[in-house]
Structure 1
């Protein structure tokens, strides 16, 4: 396991930092933890039942916290709209009342296709209050991925903007038989035929609504995975998931009531829903939402002016900030910032330690999946950080490294730093309850009392987990199993490299050889001299067996819209294979 021989020293936490953290002692918290106790911290519905929106909004209002600020929305033009918990609840109630007046029943599917607009938050919480199922879609999807997800999930209601509807939905709207209602935000004039203008409809709807009595196991959320191959899978999550959203926000993200919190993930993805809406609100924080796209100067300003305490972002964004920093290394002025975390794909060690240089504290990587519904493994505020590691399992989560036998059985590997598949013992509240209409595909995820994640990992002697790669990304070369992340991290140590992606290409002798694709920081020229320098750097750090045999320069690397590098697409292009489902691909410059 070369991952642990990295030159990155462990970042030690001071006694003061440990004492300040919500979870002060990992071992003690883990041995004491019970999910039933976490559940008891939530109110439940009056008279029985559990509803995510009730825990996110009404619980605080009933406890006298209605005047606390829940949402501060910053528009592209810097216009600010603010909503207290009581005001946000009233807007959610209006949306729930509107659904009820349209005849939308418990369990029906409400899809959102919106940018980061206030209406998205009203719709998400109002849908849950009404007992309907909320399904977020990413607003940058093209018409085909939108339609596929609406057909698979049998959408009954679509909430979108007039502009997105006309551009992406109107042409085929009549061909999805389950779709009864289209609610349009931002209508300039009369809405298109068969659609309803959202703002006037909300204004006319009742601001009081009795939350539908939902049971803990009732479906609440349907999240489509950005699957790298095949049709997107709809992961089913239930109201009970809020127990995990709430407690992991406090343990993994160190959220405290009254914090100002910024999650930069788009609510079209699971992170933007679980930790961009539900977890922060159940934890009583003020949520900062920026409508605009990524911009280095704007982000600097938000961190400073909004006095952000906790910031949750993605590795892609961190690397873009690092790229800008390489040209303009001004210290970040973010005196209120207490905790920074990252998710989406593994965070390279260089990015973790860059946090210390730029902000005076490291980024804390964590790991989870659409299927797990919430954070499972994390670098906690009180824990020493080993750059490049995804941390340790949260209290209440049991993780292991396993190997599958040809007969389908699974056994745990105990040896430190042995590579195997990351697996979890089922039983946490936000575990998916199925893939919609794909029971066989769901059952394949489980064996011998484990949920099999499809990710390869290693666990060190102190219980820290190290990500190796997706099982189907791992490269087998001359008897070595090579994880792309390890090679990419080493390439990123080089001063010229902004991003790297590594794939295996067929080779008659070695089986596969490693090829790397790199995007350079500004001020560096692609060329033979730099290529040789990078190859030499990788060989020195990794050894000839693991280092890339070839390096290609790219302007940008293909990524999903949630920021994951699409290695399989690079491989398909190299080998002239079909590119597969590109619905989650960001537009790219080639």
Structure 2
């Protein structure tokens, strides 16, 4: 299928867009303008993410406006206004000071999406300490690897998670001084404290520790295909990118209800589930429960969500259920949907327009970039399958690396190469903790080499080809798995697909697809042949898969990315490597 262009303009937006003219804004944009806007609220002060996100609003007319609205498993609602959030984060910062935690010390949080996680994150920043989120579903060993590598001094967690995962690790973490239990009524021993008790005893007045724009603020661990997790360092100035992308990409307005479904254990859940919406003074919805299609639609309806930010894996799950969203739920308040985590298949973009009444806007970024870099916008035409165009202030290019250590920018449209970003933007990571050599290898001159391969069309839209280590070399062709996966997903029986290269002595690698079927579809040899023929018709014999295997659930990370390298390792009987981010649901 040739995916049709989805025409957009400011005229069909429900509110006046923050980015009415992309070209004009790119031409006039400067990060210094953001500097004036955000630092100017309190002249003479240093830059601190928490002050920009909370105190700036708590000391304004928005003091009584709801900042965070938590939905518990049983639908119980707990809200924090900006004024209340300021008081609670001040209390947490005072707790850290009482415990002797100082600027630069790492504070880890291992918890589900509960209020204590968000308060700890922002209170940590006020104390000029470093917030380090962990997925609550991590097993003991992944937790240990990150806390050990991150020099953890404080851990905020629940009593259950402590007993399940931390108690056995304490002797291996000599730097860990304090464990704060979010649900303990009393201390459990030396160094294992009741956080509610400490919070109750703390003052709600706090003077933010002096912070500089380049002080470490966030430490996000990201897993590669091999080796130990990497700790990507982000500084307080990253808030400039959080703010401007929430303005231009998410198009947040003061009265918006915003819902980012990501867990803060993933960088999206911190950058856009905590920080970015708060910088705009809007109300964020936070759901404690895991994915459930009916529950999610009910949240969109009952909370009157305006802007929704989710992941491709969630969208594909919604596509698989027998629900007619607009017939069964009132989604009239929803005006903008965004997706991130892995490339969004064209079919999913169009499904959004047909079933939700809105196309889904894909965007691209990485843990290392700290914020959205390339996006589709509310007023810009969508080309389904494209990641969009760079945000104002970001220079992106397709480059080729040469053996002499230089890069060549490829200006010819349609040619694939390394997706690279010109360094120097505020949310660029400042290093991998304790691994300077690995960090240096990410750059060639002024260019950050992302590890993704992409192309750029004649109008400046970028298109994902694949991870550099995912590219399949077959019979002299370079095949991007995403292209094959998207073609297979056009077949009415296919829910998801993951594609790998399988070594073959004749052609180098053959293309093999692992396919998850939609409900009601049954795997069979006949269906395999049908899918191979379907893909050949779409892609040609050289690119189409030569082997297909049916699999109920494809392995994914908790952020929704299909783990192709795990599919390949299992297919070839190779070591599976780091599985700490593997989705276990």
TM-score by length of 1: 0.97
Q: CA RMSD in A?
A: 1.4
8 Å Cα contact 1:519-1:554 kept in structure 2:
yes
| 1:231-274 Cα distance to aligned partner (Å, 9 max, x none) | 11100000011111101111111111121000000011110000
| Greater mean deviation of Cα atoms: 400-409 or 502-511 | 400-409
What is the deviation of 1:330? 4.4
Matching residue of 1:8: 3
Structure 1 residue runs of 4 or more that deviate by more than 4 Å after TM superposition: 326-332
8 Å Cα contact 1:400-1:412 kept in structure 2:
yes
What is the deviation of 1:99? 0.4
Matching residue of 2:554: 557
8 Å Cα contact 1:327-1:522 kept in structure 2:
no
Matches within 5 A, 1:118-267: 118-187=115-184, 191=188, 194-267=191-264
Matching residue of 1:69: 66
Once residues 404 and 269 of structure 1 are traced to their aligned partners in structure 2, the CA distance between those partners, rounded to angstroms, is: 30
Once residues 434 and 191 of structure 2 are traced to their aligned partners in structure 1, the CA distance between those partners, rounded to angstroms, is: 29
Which of residues 377, 386, 389 is equivalent to 1:392?
A: 389
Which of residues 422, 439, 458 is equivalent to 1:442?
A: 439
Q: Secondary structure at the match of 1:169?
A: helix
| 1:326-378 Cα distance to aligned partner (Å, 9 max, x none) | 79894652111111000000000000010001111100000000000000000
What is the deviation of 1:16? 1.1
Matching residue of 1:25: 21
Once residues 213 and 371 of structure 2 are traced to their aligned partners in structure 1, the CA distance between those partners, rounded to angstroms, is: 16
8 Å Cα contact 1:246-1:282 kept in structure 2:
yes
1:271 aligns with 2:261: no
| Greater mean deviation of Cα atoms: 43-52 or 153-162 | 43-52
8 Å Cα contact 2:453-2:465 kept in structure 1:
yes
Matching residue of 2:299: 302
Once residues 215 and 238 of structure 1 are traced to their aligned partners in structure 2, the CA distance between those partners, rounded to angstroms, is: 9
Q: Secondary structure at the match of 1:498?
A: strand
| 1:456-513 Cα distance to aligned partner (Å, 9 max, x none) | 0000000000001100000011111100000000101111111100000111111111
Matching residue of 1:3: none
1:504 aligns with 2:531: no
What is the deviation of 1:61? 1.9
Matching residue of 2:34: 38
What is the deviation of 1:39? 1.5
8 Å Cα contact 1:331-1:359 kept in structure 2:
no
| Greater mean deviation of Cα atoms: 358-367 or 321-330 | 321-330
Matching residue of 1:359: 356
Once residues 193 and 532 of structure 1 are traced to their aligned partners in structure 2, the CA distance between those partners, rounded to angstroms, is: 64
Matching residue of 2:98: 101
8 Å Cα contact 1:220-1:237 kept in structure 2:
yes
1:517 aligns with 2:528: no
Once residues 404 and 549 of structure 1 are traced to their aligned partners in structure 2, the CA distance between those partners, rounded to angstroms, is: 32
8 Å Cα contact 1:341-1:365 kept in structure 2:
yes
Q: Secondary structure at the match of 1:224?
A: strand
Q: Tell me the number of residue pairs that the alignment of Structure 1 and Structure 2 aligns.
A: 583
Matching residue of 2:110: 113
| 1:80-116 Cα distance to aligned partner (Å, 9 max, x none) | 0011000011110010010011111111000000100
| Greater mean deviation of Cα atoms: 6-15 or 39-48 | 39-48
Once residues 278 and 490 of structure 1 are traced to their aligned partners in structure 2, the CA distance between those partners, rounded to angstroms, is: 36
Once residues 10 and 36 of structure 2 are traced to their aligned partners in structure 1, the CA distance between those partners, rounded to angstroms, is: 30
1:486 aligns with 2:480: no
| Greater mean deviation of Cα atoms: 218-227 or 536-545 | 218-227
Once residues 24 and 328 of structure 1 are traced to their aligned partners in structure 2, the CA distance between those partners, rounded to angstroms, is: 29
8 Å Cα contact 2:186-2:194 kept in structure 1:
no
8 Å Cα contact 1:505-1:512 kept in structure 2:
yes
Is the alpha carbon distance of 1:177 and 1:34 closer, same or farther for their aligned partners in structure 2, counting shifts above 3 Å?
same
Once residues 240 and 522 of structure 2 are traced to their aligned partners in structure 1, the CA distance between those partners, rounded to angstroms, is: 51
TM-score by length of 2: 0.98
Once residues 420 and 275 of structure 1 are traced to their aligned partners in structure 2, the CA distance between those partners, rounded to angstroms, is: 29
The answer for unaligned runs of 5 or more in structure 2 is none
Once residues 344 and 447 of structure 2 are traced to their aligned partners in structure 1, the CA distance between those partners, rounded to angstroms, is: 26
Q: Secondary structure at the match of 1:240?
A: helix
| Greater mean deviation of Cα atoms: 238-247 or 13-22 | 13-22
What is the deviation of 1:28? 0.3
8 Å Cα contact 1:332-1:358 kept in structure 2:
no
Matching residue of 2:577: 580
Is the alpha carbon distance of 1:329 and 1:311 closer, same or farther for their aligned partners in structure 2, counting shifts above 3 Å?
closer
Once residues 326 and 77 of structure 1 are traced to their aligned partners in structure 2, the CA distance between those partners, rounded to angstroms, is: 22
